[in-house]
Amino acid sequence: MSVRKHLFIEGRVQGVTFRASTRRMADKLGLDGWVRNLSDGGVEAVFEGDREDVERMVDWCRRGPAPAKVENVREKDEQPVGLEGFEIKY
């Protein structure tokens, strides 16, 4: 069963390979969705896929890549819309 999570990630999450690392992890887990930087210095991401894999991705986002310092993750459950692939939005 497919689920969708919409995340807003705060902290030192820009300029630390967060988006590229997120895409690599999402690809590894077979998730669909996207990630982008926000003007407030945060990162926004959407993940669709198997519940267990999406939860693993959310757990990873709470830490991020080694240079990141994640301070807060706001999470929303949403209805999947059938995204295909994972992209970095600019």
Q: Catalytic annotation on 72? A: no
Q: Catalytic annotation on 4? A: no
Catalytic residue among 12, 37, 51, 72: 37
Query: Tokens standing for 62?
Result: 């709470």
Q: Is the dihedral of CA 75, 54, 89, 77 positive or negative?
A: negative
Catalytic residue among 19, 24, 36, 72: 19
Please say whether the beta carbons of 33 and 46 come within 8 A.
yes
Nearest one of 15, 14, 35 to 26, comparing CA atoms: 35
Active site residues: 19, 37
